[in-house]
A and B are shown apart, each in its own frame.
Chain A
Amino acid sequence: MLGSKLFRWAAGLLLIVLLLAIGVWYIAFRTLAQEPFPDMAAEFNYGSIGNEDARGLPYWIWRVLPTLFNEYLPGPTGYTSLGLFWEQGEELPVGFSKKTVGTERVSINCAFCHQSTYRLDSDAHSKLVVAGTGARVDPQAFLRFLGRAGNDPRFTADTLLGEIDLIYDMPVLERLTYRFLLIPATRRALQQEAADFAWSDDNPDWGRGRIDPFNPIKYGILGMGNDGTIGNSDMMPLWQMARAEGSNPAGKTKALHWDGLSTDLHEVVVTGAVGDGMSYRNYQRGSVNERIARIEDYIRTLEPPPSPFSSERDPADPFYVDPDAVMRGQALHGKHCAQCHSPDGPRYRLPIPVTEVGTDAHRVEMWNDEATQRYNAYEEKGKDWGFAGFQNVEGYVAVDHSGLWLRAPYLHNGSVPTLRDMLRPPAERPEVFYRGYDLIDAEDGGFVAQGAEAERVGDRYDVSLPGNGNGGHLYGTDLPADEKEDLLAFLKTL
C-alpha cells in the first residue's frame, strides 16, 4: 500500500512536471514558420534569420516601446526615427521580422542595417534601396533606445500592459504570459544588453550610417577584454557580392569587410547573422540555413539602382551630365582609379596597406591576430562553426564603384560627404557635416550634407573625433580642375 501511494504521488508529480514543461514549451519555444514571401526582396527585408530566441522582442512590447519611451529615440517619430524605411501596407519597417517563437516576436535581420533610401528632390518621396548602404540607419541609437527603455522605472508590466490595453484586447492567457514572463524577461534581457554595450559610451558615437561591427563580437562571443579600440565604419551595401568572391585578376584572394578581415562570402553572411543573435542550434534548422543560403545567393547578383545622372537628360536638368565630360572622365578613371576599384584591376578587392592609402587607421587597429584566431576557432557550446576565412591585414579594401552615387559618404569611415570632396586634398575637405539626409546632391555627388534639413534629420559628423579622420586617399586630388570635373561627371554615372 505504501508502495502504491508513493507511486501515485510520483505519477501525479510527473504529470504536473510534464504539463508544466509543455506549458513552458508552448509559451517560450513553440516555433511557427513565417508566411512565404512574395519575392526575394521582401524575404530579405522581413524574413527571420533565426535570432528570435536571442533578440526577439515580444510583438506587443515592441509595438508600445516607441510610444512609451519616445524620448529615447533619436528623432520625433517612432521606429522610423532610427532611419528605417516603412513600405506601404507592411506591418513592420524594413529590417524587422516577425515570427512566432513561443509568442509573436519581432527581431532585426540583415536589412536593418543593409537598407537605404534616396530622393532626387527635397519634396519627392524617399525611395527604398534594397540591401543599400544603411546611410540613414542608426543601429547604436536602437541599442541605446532598448537599453534605456529597459532601465527605465516605467518598464513594468502595469505600464506596458496599460499601454497595450489601449490598442489591443489581449486574451487572458496571453496577458498572464506577458505580465509574469515576457515583460520581466525582456526587461532583464534589455538591462543585460545595456550593460554589455556600455563600453561603446567610451568611444565617439557611431552616428547614422555607421557601426562598430566587430568590437561587439570581440567583447561578446569571442570573450575578449575591452581594448579601447574604435572600429566605427560605414555599413556596406550588399550589391553584386559575387564580385567579392575568389581571386582577383592578379590571382590574389579577394577580401571582404572594410579592413579585409574575411576572405569568404559565405562566412561573412553567416557571421553577420551570428552577430545578430542566430545560434548554432537554430542554424541547423532548414528554415534558417536555407534562408541564409537564399540571401547569400540573392546578394551575389543584386544590382544597385541605376544612377540618375545621365547624358540622356535635358541639359537644364540638375542630373544631366555632359557626355563628352563623361567620356573624358572614364579615361581618367581608367588611369587613376581602375587599378584598385574596377573588377578587372590587379588590386581590386585587396586590402591596400593603411600606410599607403593613408586613411584613418582606427578600424584596422581594431582587428588583431588574437581576434582572428579566436573567430576561426569559434565554438558555440562545444559546437565548432568551422570558420576559416578570418585574417588580420593592416589595410583597407578597395571596393567596387558600382552604385557609387548611393555610397556616400565616402571612405570606410564615411568621413568625406561628396565625390567632389573626395577629389579635394584632405585639408580642403569639410571638417563638419551632417549624415543621414537622403537627398542626392546633384552638384557634388553624394548626399546633401549641409543646410537646415540636413542638420534637422542628420547627425553631426566631426572629422576631428577619433576614428573620424578624413585624411588619406589622395588619388585624383592633384588633378587639374577641368579633369576633376570630367572625372566627377563620370563617377556620378556609376
Chain B
Amino acid sequence: MTPAQASTGNPANRRRRRGWLLIWLVVLALVVGAGAVAYDRFFVQTDPVTYSDPVMHFKYGSIGSEPESGLPYWMWKALPLMFPDKLPEGETDYRAFGLLYEPGRDLPIGVSQRKVMGIDLVWLNCSVCHVGTVRDEPGGERQLLLGAPSNNLRLFDLIQFLRAAAHDNRWEPDYVLEKIDEAGGDLGFLERLAYRWLVIGQVRRGLLRLNDQLEFLDRQEAIGHDWGPGRVDTFNPYKKMQFNYDMTRIPDVELAGSADYPSIWMQRPREGMQLHWDGNNPSVEERNLSASLGAGVTPTTIDMASLERVRNWLWDFPSPRFPRERIDQAKAAEGAPLYAEYCAACHGAPLADGGGFDYDRSQYPRLGEVEPLEEIGTDQGRWRSYTQVFAGEQNMLFAGYPRPGSDCDERLCAERFQRFRKTSGYANHPLDGIWARSPYLHNGSVPTLRALLDPPSERPVTFYRGNDVFDWDAVGYVSDVAAAEGEAFFVFDTRMKGNSNAGHAGPTYGTELSATEKDAIVEYMKTF
C-alpha cells in the first residue's frame, strides 16, 4: 500500500484536499475575473475625449468613428510633415483641405479624439462637413456658421492626399518617428516601440486599403468631376465602403454624384420631409445614422449616446441671422408677395410675426416633397448616383439592431434601415438660413440667390468656389475672384459632368420676372 493510496481513505486528508481545491478555485475565479475586466477595459471599452458644452461636443466630440476608421493622433500630426510634397504649394497642414482650426485648439473642427487599446486615435464627426465660415472682406475675421454647409472642406483632396501617402515609400519607422518628434510628439519608450513595430505598419495598411476602396476617385477626376470645396459624393464611396461594390463596373453616369453639403439646423420640423437632396429618406434618425456611417462609424463602433446629444442639440438649433443692418426692409417688403407667389408653395416661408420659419406643410403643399426630374430640370448626376438596388441593399445596414434589452424607450437606439427609397427627382427643402447655404441648387452650380433667379443661360458658366468673403447684395460667397491671400480658389465649370446649372427655371420659378422684382425677392430672402 503506497501513502497516496492510504490517504484516499483518510477523512482528514480528504478534507484538506477539498480545502486546497476550494482555494485553487477561488484563485482561478479571481484570475479569470481580473482577466475579463482587463480585456474589457483594454480591448472592448474605448475612451473618448468628452465635452460638457453641446457646441464643443458638436465641434470636437466623438461619435465613434475612430476605432474603425481613425488615425493614431501622432500619425495624423505627422502625415503632412511626412509628405509635404503632396500638399498644395505653400500649405503645411490640414488647412490645405479646408479644415478649420480655432485659436488654441490643436485639432481642427470636425476631428474628434478617442483612446482605443491605449492609443489615442482621431477621426471625423458631423461638424467637419457642417460648419461654414463667412467674412466681410479679404483678410477679415472669420465668423463660424455652425450647422451650415461647409464651404471650405475639400474632402476629395484630403482623400487623394491620404491615398497618395499610402503609395509613397517614406514609411520607415525612423523617418516616421522623426516626423512625429518634429510635430511635437512626446511618445514614451513603450509607445515608441508600439509605433515602430505595430502602429506605423497598421496605418499604412489601412491607407492602402482606403486607396483601393476609393480608386474610383481617379476616374471621377478623369471625367472632370473633382468634388471641389463644399461638396461631397455621398453615395459612391458608400457603395464601396459599406458593400464592397465593384466600382470599376459602376457606369460613368452614376459617378457624377457630388452635391453640396446641406445645412443641419432645425431638424425637428424636417422629420417626415423627404430628406437628402433627392429625398431618399423621410426619417431624421435614419438619415443621421447613415451620415454617421459616412463619417466613419460602423454599427459596432457608433457612440449612440454621443450622437443623441448632437441630434438633440440640432433638433431646434436656429439658423444664423443675416446682418439686419444690411437689409433694406422696404425692398424686402416688396419681395414678400412675390416670394409667396413663386416660391413658398415648395419652400415654405418665414412666419408673418417674424418668429422664425414656417415649416407647415398644410400651408405649403409641396414643401418636403420630391419634384420629378422632368419638372425641376436640374442636373441629373446626383439623382443617378443613388440607385434602386443600392436603396434595397441599404436595408441590411444596422441589421441585428436594436440589440435585445436595449432601452429604446429611454434613449436613442440604432435600428435597421427601412426607409431608404429611390425617388423620381429632387426634394424641396425649407429655406431657413438660405443666405448661408450658397452656392445654390443641390450641386452648388449657381453662386448666388440673385443668379438663381436668372434663367440658366444668364447664370455664370464658370465661377470660383472656396472663398468665404460674402457678397451681401447678390447673397452668396464671392465667386468672381480667382485667388486671394495666396489661396487659389476652385474653378467650378458648369459644363462638366454633374455640374450643370440648368433647371429650376421658367415662369413658375420666377426667372422671367423683372430685375427689380428679382432684387426684391432676394432682399426678402435675406430675412429667412
Is A279 an interface position by the 8 A CB rule?
A: no
- Closest Cβ of chain B: how far from A115's Cβ, in Å? 13
* B420 closest partner in A (C-beta): A88
Contact status B246-A70, CB under 8 Å: yes
Is A166 an interface position by the 8 A CB rule?
A: yes
Q: Which residues of chain A have C-beta atoms less than 8 A from B389's C-beta?
A: 77, 80-81, 86
Is A33 an interface position by the 8 A CB rule?
A: no
Contact status A75-B249, CB under 8 Å: yes
Q: Which residues of chain A have C-beta atoms less than 8 A from B403's C-beta?
A: 169
Number of A-B contacts (CB under 8 A): 85
Quick one: CB contact mask for A61-96 with B, threshold 8 Å, 1 for yes? 001001110110101111111000111111101000
* B298 closest partner in A (C-beta): A166
Is B312 an interface position by the 8 A CB rule?
A: no
* B416 closest partner in A (C-beta): A91
Contact status B418-A167, CB under 8 Å: no
Is B20 an interface position by the 8 A CB rule?
A: no
Contact status A76-B418, CB under 8 Å: no
* B403 closest partner in A (C-beta): A169
Q: Which of A78, A85, A89, A168 contacts B243 (CB 8 A)?
A: A78
Q: Which residues of chain A have C-beta atoms less than 8 A from B388's C-beta?
A: 125-126
Is A314 an interface position by the 8 A CB rule?
A: no
Contact status B244-A70, CB under 8 Å: yes
Q: Given the known A-B contacts A66-B243, A67-B243, A67-B244, are A80 and B298 also in contact in the complex, defined by CB atoms under 8 Å?
A: no
- Closest Cβ of chain B: how far from A365's Cβ, in Å? 37
Contact status A86-B399, CB under 8 Å: no
- Closest Cβ of chain A: how far from B250's Cβ, in Å? 5
Complex interface residues of chain B between 224 and 245 (CB less than 8 A to chain A): 239, 243-245
Contact status A93-B399, CB under 8 Å: no
* B248 closest partner in A (C-beta): A76
**A292 vs B390: C-alpha distance when bound (angstroms):** 32
Contact status A167-B246, CB under 8 Å: no
Is A165 an interface position by the 8 A CB rule?
A: yes
Q: Which residues of chain B have C-beta atoms less than 8 A from A78's C-beta?
A: 243, 245, 393
Contact status A89-B393, CB under 8 Å: no
Is B300 an interface position by the 8 A CB rule?
A: yes
Is A123 an interface position by the 8 A CB rule?
A: yes
Q: Given the known A-B contacts A77-B389, A89-B418, are A169 and B300 also in contact in the complex, defined by CB atoms under 8 Å?
A: yes
Q: Which residues of chain A have C-beta atoms less than 8 A from B245's C-beta?
A: 70, 76-78
Contact status A76-B416, CB under 8 Å: no
Is A456 an interface position by the 8 A CB rule?
A: yes
**A24 vs B395: C-alpha distance when bound (angstroms):** 32
- Closest Cβ of chain A: how far from B194's Cβ, in Å? 21
Q: Given the known A-B contacts A88-B391, A456-B251, are A168 and B299 also in contact in the complex, defined by CB atoms under 8 Å?
A: yes
Q: Which residues of chain B have C-beta atoms less than 8 A from A77's C-beta?
A: 239, 243, 245, 389-390, 393
* A168 closest partner in B (C-beta): B400
Q: Which of A76, A88, A456 contacts B246 (CB 8 A)?
A: A76
Q: Given the known A-B contacts A63-B396, A80-B392, A168-B400, are A89 and B244 also in contact in the complex, defined by CB atoms under 8 Å?
A: no
Q: Which residues of chain B have C-beta atoms less than 8 A from A165's C-beta?
A: 300
**A123 vs B299: C-alpha distance when bound (angstroms):** 33
**A90 vs B421: C-alpha distance when bound (angstroms):** 11
Contact status A79-B419, CB under 8 Å: no
Q: Which of B373, B399, B419, B421 contacts A91 (CB 8 A)?
A: B399
Is B304 an interface position by the 8 A CB rule?
A: no
**A88 vs B389: C-alpha distance when bound (angstroms):** 10
**A86 vs B392: C-alpha distance when bound (angstroms):** 5
* B384 closest partner in A (C-beta): A123
**A76 vs B395: C-alpha distance when bound (angstroms):** 18
Q: Which residues of chain A have C-beta atoms less than 8 A from B392's C-beta?
A: 80, 85-88, 90, 93
**A59 vs B396: C-alpha distance when bound (angstroms):** 11
Is B422 an interface position by the 8 A CB rule?
A: yes
**A81 vs B391: C-alpha distance when bound (angstroms):** 13
Q: Which residues of chain B have C-beta atoms less than 8 A from A76's C-beta?
A: 245-250
Q: Which residues of chain B have C-beta atoms less than 8 A from A59's C-beta?
A: 399
Binding site for A on B (CB under 8 A): 68, 239, 243-251, 298-300, 373, 388-393, 395-397, 399-400, 403, 416, 418-422, 424
Can you name 6 A-B pairs with beta carbons within 8 Å? A63-B399, A78-B245, A78-B393, A86-B395, A91-B399, A168-B400
Can you list the 7 inter-chain pairs with the closest CB atoms, starting with the nearest?
A: A86-B392, A89-B418, A76-B249, A80-B389, A76-B246, A67-B244, A168-B400
